[in-house]
Amino acid sequence: MLSRIVTGDEMWVSHVTPESKQQSMEWRNTHSSVRVKAKQTLSQRKIMASVFWDRHGVLLLDFMQRRTTINAVAYGQTLRKLRRTIQNKRRGMLTEGILLLHDNARPHTAAQT
């Protein structure tokens, strides 16, 4: 039975790629002003990710587009991606049947899902 269990979860993930000192260097005249860099707020550097795994490891890591939320339609699309991933990575698992463990958030329990 354990080989048929797939667990899913959503989380906020930071995606910051800071510049190195070499990348941020620039040529300036001695009289030129210092360039001011805008600081990103924490919410601009985070993105929603859905991750699904089984006892063998991660099956799917799916990132949402910026400024979108998880709803029944988006979660249904993610589940279709998960199905294709299982077909490719875990051949024969779908024929045995899968037990999907996730919380009772509205997108997970919606009739459309």
What is the per-residue pLDDT across 56-93, written as a single tens digit (0 to 9) for each?
Answer: 899 999 988 877 778 888 889 999 999 999 999 988 88
With 70 as the cut, is the pLDDT of residue 40 above it? no
Quote the CA–CA distance of 34 and 25 in Å, as a whole number: 11
Residue 97 burial by CB count (10 A; 0-12/13-18/19+): exposed, middle or buried? exposed
User: In this structure, which CATH number among 3.30.420.10, 3.30.70.270, 2.60.40.1930, 3.40.50.2000 belongs to the domain 2-101?
Assistant: 3.30.420.10
Q: What is the value of pTM for the model shown?
A: 0.67
CB atoms within 10 A of CB 104: 6
pLDDT digits (tens, 9 = 90+) for 92-112: 888 888 888 888 888 878 888
With 70 as the cut, is the pLDDT of residue 21 above it? no
Q: What is the structure's pLDDT at 3?
A: 63
